[in-house]
Structure 1
Amino acid sequence: MNDNLRILKPLFRGFPIIILVMVLAVLSAKKYLSYVTPMYESTAKLKLADTEEGVPSANLFKDLDVFATANKIATEIEVLKSSKLMEKTIAELPFDKEIYRKGDIRTVELFGNSPITIEGTFQTEKALDKRYGLNVISKKEYQFFYPDAKKGIQAIFGKPLKIEGGTLLVSLNEPYIQSKNDAKIIDSYEIEFLSTQKLLGKINKDLDIVPVDKDVPVIRINLKSNVPEKAALFVNKLAEMYIKDYIESKFKAANTTVDFLKEEINSSNKKLSASENNIQNFRDKKNIVNIRQETETDLRKISQLKIEQTNIKMNLEAIKELNKYIASGKKNYLDLAPNFEAFTDLLSTEMVKNMKKLQADKKDLLLTYTPEDEKVKIIDAKLKDLIDYQVESIKNTEKNLQIKYNGLSNDIAESEKAFVGLPEKEKELTILNREFSLYETNYNFLNSKRIDAEIARSAKIAFHKIITPADVSQTPVSPIRSIIIVVAAILGMFGSILIIYLVHFGKAKVNDEFTIEKNSTIPIALSTPFIKQNENIKENFLKEAIQMELKGMLQEQSILVISSYDQAKDHLFHSKNLVEGFINQGRKVLVIDATGQLEGGFDAQDYLNFSNPKYLSYTQSVFQNEIQQKMENYELCVLHNQSIKEDKLALLFMSLATQNLIVLDSRKTAEKTIIKMELLKDEFKLPNVWFVLNRAGYNPNVLVEIKKIWNKYTKKSSC
């Protein structure tokens, strides 16, 4: 706790400085704010069309905006930042010229509230991006100054002024002057015509285009400007130009697409017509109506013919067998039993029945008549006729079947000729049909796309829209007055604290007992506080005399040497008042003065002055003998020593001491003195060395110190 308070003591001491510096910092910040040019920010929000959601996702609007795609927000941001779109935007705005009112401390841009107007035409870009001066002398005349020029060019309002690289026309802004009764015209101005490159650079420096959220198709366009109207105008115009550029790009793309599609459709139409003619010519040449149907018909026909041929062949084989069988047994025809399965017509059946009947009748007649009988012969004749007819009929039937069979074979062979070269025809027709199908598909596709493109060209709309237009900002975003003042106060506070501690550690004074104990093994005998009132001095030193006695420092006929390092006056206060304290205790004290500063302060018989230069030649033993002779009638000897830094007799007197008191002033003595005394003690074997801390715990306010210095200075001045 004490250590923390010790660290804070310099802070308490320099508290007035901290307050003063903070006040000065705040005043400086306010002064700065009164001169600095404020920056205003305007923001516009732009919603991008989303083909997956909302109105653009409807089928109707998908057709209208066929060129819309699922937007990537980062891509659209880069489009907004593109120099092409920026150039289109600034071309729509009066940002290419700037007029400033020139003051003694700051220059303010006039935008929309300038009492003068300027127009310029330039033959070279060298005349751009330069600050020209303009001093209005009266409502009729003005002076024009080139950059860094001392001498101006006299000119008249409303008349062209030729300058290096161009021509200027400066006029009075009559509407503004009439609207402002207190408009100040006669003043100093600066004008600048900006090149596109510089204007883009100025805008890009303060332009910020970011998405509201990575998953939300909304873009925020921010611009900072010292003129709030400029910021609002630009972000709104940029959003408008983005939408306008999108519509124009879409129209151009659709128009180009329509023209391209028309050319392709004409070309495709020609190819399609040629393909149709090729198919027609091929069908005419090959006599093709429908290969598949014709093939199926021919196959069915051949199949039917082959079935008929098979049936006829079976009948023909049966007839041939029958004919062979009859031919082999022709003489005994009636004894034959042929298989008439292949000869089953009604006539043959009836003839066989008649023959069997005649044969039965003959058998009946032979029972009565002889074979030579006329009746039997008649029946034989009838049988012979029927048998001959039957045999001939079988032969004719065989011939007829053979003819039919041969005819069917010829028909089948002829029908099968239709399949000769059929795969080749099918292949060629397939190729022609495929070519036609490709051209037809391409033609239909192109027509469909042409319709879409014509719809897109006709529908001059976009689903991008400005959902929040930018307003003219009334409050500057930088500098933020409250933050600047607070930061200035904080910086002033920390800066002053830093300086206080730098000075504190730079001076490196003794300050307190802790510093002594940290740097030396020499004990502290006394800690004398800062005594404000003289009546308290006696009481304090009586108390210190008692403390010394209790510590065993005051023996019979002890020699007490009181010293300081820098100047003898640093320990004069202690030497004088300790002697008086010992005397007030009733002690008989011999006062030895090595500086002459105590002369006249004590009785002459109790005072011994060693300040004369003759004593510089005395040795230690001489001083020791002389002091011992004087000490015979005294209880205590107090020697007011010279400063140790002068080192004439100081160390010699200290070597004679019974107790050595070295006075350290908390506000004056340097910290390094402690280490020096430690080294001197070890080097010269000084006996019983003690430190005395003067003004212990004294931490005066800086104002008090300044007051003391001031009083001291005024006293010197009065003298």
Structure 2
Amino acid sequence: MGLEKKDFNSKDDSNKFEFKKAALTYLKHWKWFLLSIIIFGAYAFYTAKNRVPLYSATAKIMLNDESSGGNPVLKDLSLMSNEENSMVNDEIQVIKSRKLLGSVAKKLNINVSYHVLGRVNAYELYKNNPIDINFLASDSIIQKTNSQFYIHIISDSNFEFKIFEEDVPKNYAFGESISTSFGEIIITPKGNIKGALDSNIRVTITSIENIIAQLNGGVFLAQSGEGSKIVDIFMSAPNVNKSIDIINTLVDEYNLATIKKNKERAEFTSNFIDDRVESLTSDLVSVDDSIVKFKVRNQITNISNKSGLLSTNSMSSQQELQTLRTKRNMLDYMLGLLDNDSYEMIPSNLGVGDASISALAIRYNELLERRRVLLKSAGENNSVVLELDQSLNAIKKNLIASVNNNIGTLTIQVNSIQGQLSSLNSKISYVPAQESKLISIQRRQSIKESLYLYLLQKREEAEISQTTTLPSAKIIDSAYSLGVVKNSNSVLYFGSMLFAFLLPFGVIYILNLMDTKIHNKEDLENQIRTMTVLGEVPRIKNNADKLITFNDRSILSESFRIIRTNFEFLNRDVKAEKYRNVIFVTSTINGEGKSFISLNTALTIANTGKKVLLIGSDLRNPQIFTAINTSKKEERSKIGLSEYLSDYDITLNEIIHTKEVNKVKLDMLLSGQIPPNPAELLMDPRLETLFDTVSEEYDYVVVDTAPSMLVTDTLLMHKYAGHTIYVTRAGYTEKRILNFAKELNEDKKLNHMMLIVNDVKESNFGYGAKYGYYGAPEKKGFFKRKKKA
């Protein structure tokens, strides 16, 4: 059998996930899986056979559009409504509120339950219990109590009572007072007591708080569809009648609660409206008084008519003022003509309505015309002309006096009209403010009147709604039974089988995850890729022979033959000539079986007819003699390697002895007595002489050395080894300490290192584990042995 060489520089695929490999990791523990399946299967079968069936009940309701329960007053008066158009999901939470569930529990009295005890299970007697329990304590105490007691009905007049199932029962008569931790009780029979003779009944008292928690987890509500106002209610319980009563009562309690709430809202709304109507009545009276006082104070009946009259008077005054000013301007012009010394014609129409001024003007113009005519024929000193001048001056004087008088009169009139016009303009400018103030008062009056009328209407509606409040939930289908809940046993079996697989799987996974030790050749190869693994040595039972015998065909012997063959294949490539046949056997720490490997390796090679020497060089803790000591009378040799190295008078022939182990002859050089300075002895030059001699005389020299990590003994004598077998032990050697072996190999502190895995379980064994060894006796299973028998 050859051993292939590995390309350690190439990429290794060992890190890739292999399903078959992972599956085999768990399949080798198939017994635990089978045991788990049997246990959980038996549990599922027992539970399914004896479990009380569950019955499902359902109901269908439709929630009203208005959260106020159909009250239009509360909908219009949104300031008085806690919610508008409540969402269905919110109403579902209201239905499942603790308050409503508690009301259901109290109304149905389900905090006290009766169960008749069978061989395995207990069955609830809902509304069919043969006895009644009368509690003398207050309801508030009973509703907070969690307790139970047992009753055995002996006859229609007597029964046995006990608190705990293992208690000794006491005999009581029906109607007799019984003392308990939650007060005295009186048990009375019902009409069906004779049908319950010899029955064992368990009475359970559960607090309302616990009942609420049970109902909250047992009652399910869901919308029929997205956006739908229809709600489906479900409940599953061992007693279908109880589920139906709970669902129907829950809907009734919800409707009663909403009706009560809406009545309270309507009453509150009515009271609020009454208060507001009273307040608005007072406000309206105050506003009316304000309007009256305002009109009286401003002397107006109709502010619009007053505004028109003032505008007309203002226009008339302005026209009159304009006329007077025109007349005065005309008189001023006439006065200007009369004030100069010359004689000029004056307009006769400038008298501005004054007849005397007009007459004088005409007379003045006539005389002036005569004078102009006379002057054409006579001079200015003519007596007639002079007489005319006197007449003209007299008329002019009279005209000036009349004009001045008229101008004064007009001035007075103008001033008077200007005063009147100023007063009118002031009143006209004040009219908008008066009108604005009056409009403001009238607006307040209008608003309060509108609100007053609105509240009067709503008060009537509120009064009506108190007697016409509708429930929030319309019952489409009352609660009814859906029958036994199906597939419950299938779920039980499936869950049990699933858990039966998951439990051992999880335990094995965690153990493998936490495992830090190697278990077979594959583990070792994954940890150290730069060294060759010669083979695996199986675990040997305590009562089996741990040493190879002559012509042995056991699995132990075959594993060492594989190791020997692999070693010989690798030995061909070793270039060193000196010490090529010297094999050191070492390990990292003690307890890994290096002495066991050393001895059986030597015996395996000796079985082929080779001349083999086994040297025990572990001077600190020698184990070779213990392994081969088959007779208690046989004594350890007094001289060995330690004496040879310390006493130059001792020769090799004196310390090498031939022993027959299991009919196999083997030369041995034992370690001798334990010296005080083993490291210094191994540095003695005689050691080189020893290996030079034995490597020439023997075909193979197998050296059992000390653990490499604990002491330096093996490293001190490594130059005498052609090969080093490094022993690891399955389930014992930690993966992390294998780094020490890698360092020894990389630093070449030990020559030509090769690995062996010792003490491997058969389930973890390599290629031969599944098929056994060729020629080995066939292992027969239980059924084959039975068939043969």
TM superposition score normalised by structure 2: 0.55
In structure 1, the residue matched to 2:319 is 307
**1:415 to 1:167, Cα distance in 2 relative to 1, 3 A:** farther
Aligned positions of 1:365-404 closer than 5 A: none
- Return the alpha-carbon distance in structure 2 between the equivalents of residues 29 and 548 of structure 1: 56
Question: Shift of residue 135 of structure 1?
Answer: 0.9
In structure 2, the residue matched to 1:616 is 637
114-123 or 28-37, which deviates more: 28-37
In structure 2, the residue matched to 1:21 is 36
252-261 or 94-103, which deviates more: 94-103
**1:628 to 1:247, Cα distance in 2 relative to 1, 3 A:** closer
- Identify which of 299, 309, 327 aligns with 1:297: 309
- Number of aligned residue pairs: 623
Aligned positions of 1:455-466 closer than 5 A: 455=461, 458=465, 460-461=469-470
Aligned 8 A contact 2:614 2:669 in 1: no
Aligned positions of 1:61-140 closer than 5 A: 67=81, 69-71=84-86, 79=94, 82-101=97-116, 110-112=125-127, 114-120=129-135, 122-123=137-138, 125-127=140-142, 128-140=144-156
**1:437 alignment partner, SS class:** helix
**1:298 to 1:145, Cα distance in 2 relative to 1, 3 A:** same
Amino acid at match of 2:309: T
* Structure 2 segments unaligned to the other structure (5+ residues): 1-12, 363-397, 541-549, 616-623, 645-649, 676-681, 683-689, 728-755, 773-778, 783-789
* Structure 1 segments unaligned to the other structure (5+ residues): 354-391, 600-608, 664-671, 711-719
- Return the alpha-carbon distance in structure 2 between the equivalents of residues 432 and 88 of structure 1: 61
Question: Shift of residue 169 of structure 1?
Answer: 5.2
**2:109 alignment partner, SS class:** coil
Aligned positions of 1:432-511 closer than 5 A: 434-452=440-458, 454-455=460-461, 458=465, 460-461=469-470, 474-475=484-485, 480-495=491-506, 497-498=508-509, 511=520
Question: Shift of residue 199 of structure 1?
Answer: 3.7
**1:122 alignment partner, SS class:** coil
- Return the alpha-carbon distance in structure 2 between the equivalents of residues 642 and 136 of structure 1: 87
Question: Shift of residue 546 of structure 1?
Answer: 8.5
In structure 2, the residue matched to 1:368 is none
Aligned positions of 1:614-653 closer than 5 A: 616-619=637-640, 624-625=652-653, 638-639=665-666
**1:619 to 1:309, Cα distance in 2 relative to 1, 3 A:** closer
State whether structure 2 residue 159 is matched by structure 1 residue 142. Answer: yes
**1:221 to 1:261, Cα distance in 2 relative to 1, 3 A:** same
**1:99 alignment partner, SS class:** strand
Amino acid at match of 2:200: D
Question: Shift of residue 270 of structure 1?
Answer: 3.2
Aligned-residue sequence identity (percent) comes to 15
Aligned 8 A contact 1:12 1:701 in 2: no
**1:420 to 1:317, Cα distance in 2 relative to 1, 3 A:** closer
**1:613 alignment partner, SS class:** coil
Aligned 8 A contact 2:63 2:231 in 1: no
Question: Shift of residue 641 of structure 1?
Answer: 7.0
- Return the alpha-carbon distance in structure 2 between the equivalents of residues 630 and 336 of structure 1: 189
- Return the alpha-carbon distance in structure 2 between the equivalents of residues 519 and 273 of structure 1: 107
**1:51 to 1:257, Cα distance in 2 relative to 1, 3 A:** closer
Amino acid at match of 1:293: N
Question: Shift of residue 272 of structure 1?
Answer: 1.4
- Return the alpha-carbon distance in structure 2 between the equivalents of residues 521 and 134 of structure 1: 76
Deviations 1:598-655 (A, max 9, x none): 99xxxxxxxxx99963562344678953798989xxxx9831879999999xxx9x99
Aligned 8 A contact 1:575 1:640 in 2: no
- Return the alpha-carbon distance in structure 1 between the equivalents of residues 612 and 422 of structure 2: 164
Aligned 8 A contact 1:120 1:169 in 2: yes
Amino acid at match of 2:153: I
- Return the alpha-carbon distance in structure 1 between the equivalents of residues 425 and 781 of structure 2: 134
Amino acid at match of 1:616: S
- Return the alpha-carbon distance in structure 2 between the equivalents of residues 313 and 283 of structure 1: 38
**1:434 to 1:290, Cα distance in 2 relative to 1, 3 A:** same
State whether structure 2 residue 199 is matched by structure 1 residue 186. Answer: yes
Deviations 1:348-403 (A, max 9, x none): 99xx99xxxxxxxxxxxxxxxxxxxxxxxxxxxxxxxxxxxxxx9xx999999999
**1:192 to 1:185, Cα distance in 2 relative to 1, 3 A:** farther
- Return the alpha-carbon distance in structure 2 between the equivalents of residues 267 and 579 of structure 1: 125
Aligned positions of 1:167-566 closer than 5 A: 168=185, 170-172=187-189, 174=191, 186-195=199-208, 197-204=209-216, 216=227, 227=238, 229=240, 234=246, 237-238=249-250, 241-242=253-254, 244-284=256-296, 286-308=298-320, 310-311=322-323, 314=326, 339-340=348-349, 431=437, 434-452=440-458, 454-455=460-461, 458=465, 460-461=469-470, 474-475=484-485, 480-495=491-506, 497-498=508-509, 511-512=520-521, 515=524, 537=553
**1:522 to 1:142, Cα distance in 2 relative to 1, 3 A:** same
Question: Shift of residue 441 of structure 1?
Answer: 0.7
Aligned 8 A contact 2:113 2:205 in 1: yes
**1:444 alignment partner, SS class:** helix
**1:502 to 1:546, Cα distance in 2 relative to 1, 3 A:** closer
- Return the alpha-carbon distance in structure 1 between the equivalents of residues 415 and 627 of structure 2: 167
Aligned 8 A contact 1:208 1:222 in 2: yes
Aligned 8 A contact 1:596 1:611 in 2: no
Aligned 8 A contact 2:58 2:480 in 1: yes
**1:252 to 1:641, Cα distance in 2 relative to 1, 3 A:** farther
- Return the alpha-carbon distance in structure 1 between the equivalents of residues 297 and 261 of structure 2: 53
* CA-based RMSD: 7.2
- Return the alpha-carbon distance in structure 2 between the equivalents of residues 612 and 92 of structure 1: 93
- Return the alpha-carbon distance in structure 1 between the equivalents of residues 328 and 523 of structure 2: 149
- Return the alpha-carbon distance in structure 1 between the equivalents of residues 492 and 197 of structure 2: 28
**1:616 alignment partner, SS class:** coil
- Return the alpha-carbon distance in structure 1 between the equivalents of residues 514 and 285 of structure 2: 102
Question: Shift of residue 109 of structure 1?
Answer: 5.1
In structure 1, the residue matched to 2:787 is none
